[in-house]
Chains A and B, each alone.
Chain A
Amino acid sequence: MSSSRDDFGIAFRSALLQRGAAQKFSLVFLIVIASIIFFLDVYGFGFMKPVRSIINDGIYRVSLVASSPSRFVPKATGRITDLFNIKSENEKLKQALEVYRQKELSVEYLTNQNKNLRKILESDETLFKENFVLSKVLIDKSSPYLKSIIINRGSKSGILKGMPVMDKDYLVGRVVETNYLSSRVLLLNDLNSRIPVTFGKDGVQAILKGSGGSKPVLEYLPEGYVVEEGIDVFTSGKDGIFLPGSPIGKTAEEGEVVLFSESSQLSFVKVDLSKQRKEVF
């Protein structure tokens, strides 16, 4: 019995401390170093932010280069398929364009009417001043735990933590980490994402919480409220960060929301600089 305990002790000590022929460091040394780095990073010591920022910018660039072969194959096959689909799509688009031309006229009328009504309400006109930074998605590595993307704009372009990020006119997430040349965007379906939203004719207020899956969920609804399917969900702007009225998605069953923007298909996104002047979160 005692000899087996001795064996365990010897093997464990050996595993921790021994350095093989190709090993320059013992495991215990590296475990201690990793723990120190972890706690320095988590507790946000002043010098860690610039260090991390430099490391991030460097590794994101390397990652972009390393990922280029894996991007090429799906892109090439996708383009061939696109060629086959393009003709029929063109016909459909022509028809759709006609419909939108008609709608554009009514939208223009409604926009003017809306502006006039806002003037009457003495609302904040600055809301309509758009100030976007167009960014390329560098990395969209899908993680089982975190849903985020890396974009090629950082604090150099005026991006701050907390800023909303859009795909066309649809909200896709917010900036959670800024480096000098790059930023990380937390997507709406991430478990850590919380966005104040409004929907329906009555302007019901709720919080859109990421589920970790593909569909975020509506929470903090009025008591007894049953969510109907197919209703458009918009940002409410109650947090003072997001512009009110940015479309997000459509309600589905059990309070889930199907997002308008497919997070795995993002190539370019816009960061909205118009409202935020200082970092939040």
Chain B
Amino acid sequence: MLSSKITRKIINLGPLILLYYLSVSEIDSHFENYFEILSFNIQLIIIYFWVSKRPEALGSGHIFFAGLINDVVMGFPLGISSLSYLVVSLVATYVKNMTVNTRITTDWFTFFIAIFFSNLIFFILLINFSEIEVSAVEVSYNTFFTLLFFPFFWFLFTYYNSIITTGKNA
């Protein structure tokens, strides 16, 4: 009984653990050794999906802290990833408030709007206020591949979400 409660709790915390783990660990989604331009941002997909589908799984405070950790590990000015993540979270919350039932196509389209603004803010802040030089092309590729891989993660997370729902109803 107790162990099943703990298991359920861990399953519920899955998205949060994954977000923190991806931010703090060396695991990256930049595959330059295989295909130089291939890179995508899983954190943005996680945030968008879980904020729009199950906001209680991913608190805004955690998103903020995950962004700070990511900045430290990546060497960006503190707060820039937090801002970028919070913009995605904002769009996801807005879409959730405006829509009743969404399909993958609508999620895909609204996710594009979210990452467009998120990466735009990231790029503008970095270029104008910090000494770090980033390539607009690299940011565009990253945005494109993040968008491209969204459906794959959508199905994966939808399945995981159904496991959480089943666990709660059981």
Contacts and interface: CB of A to CB of B under 8 A. Distances in A.
B89 interface: yes
B76 A146 contact: yes
A20 B94 contact: no
Interface string A131-144: 00000000111111
Interface size class of B (residues with CB under 8 A): 35 or more
A31 B121 CA distance: 12
A86 to B, nearest CB: 24
Interface of A: 7-8, 10-12, 14-16, 18, 20-27, 30-31, 33-42, 52, 55-56, 59-60, 62-63, 66-67, 70-71, 139-146, 148, 176-177, 184, 191-192, 212-214, 264
Contact of A191 (B77, B80, B133): B133
Interface in B17-73: 21, 24-28, 30, 32-33, 36, 39, 55-57, 59-61, 63-64, 67-69, 72-73
A66 B21 contact: yes
Given A59-B72, A191-B134, A139 B26 contact: yes
A142 to B, nearest CB: 4
B130 to A, nearest CB: 5
Contacts of B21: 66
Q: 4 shortest A-B CB distances, which residue pairs? A: A38-B79, A144-B39, A37-B79, A67-B26
B161 interface: no
B56 A21 contact: yes
B141 interface: yes
Contacts of B32: 142, 144, 213-214
Interface in B68-112: 68-69, 72-80, 82-83, 86-87, 89-90, 93-94, 96-98
Contacts of A55: 68, 72, 78
Contacts of B133: 191-192
B152 interface: no
A184 B55 CA distance: 35
B125 interface: yes
Q: Is the interface of A mostly helix, strand, loop or mixed?
A: helix
A212 B32 CA distance: 10
30 contacts: A15-B97, A20-B55, A21-B56, A22-B57, A23-B59, A23-B61, A25-B64, A27-B90, A30-B61, A30-B63, A35-B79, A35-B83, A37-B68, A37-B82, A38-B79, A39-B79, A41-B78, A42-B129, A60-B72, A63-B26, A66-B24, A66-B25, A66-B26, A139-B26, A139-B73, A141-B27, A141-B73, A146-B76, A184-B75, A191-B135
A143 B28 contact: yes
Contacts of A18: 93
A177 B79 CA distance: 17
Contacts of B24: 59, 62-63, 66
Given A22-B59, A34-B83, A141-B74, 16 more contacts: A14-B97, A20-B55, A34-B82, A36-B79, A38-B79, A38-B80, A42-B130, A55-B72, A56-B72, A59-B24, A70-B27, A141-B25, A143-B74, A144-B141, A145-B134, A177-B75
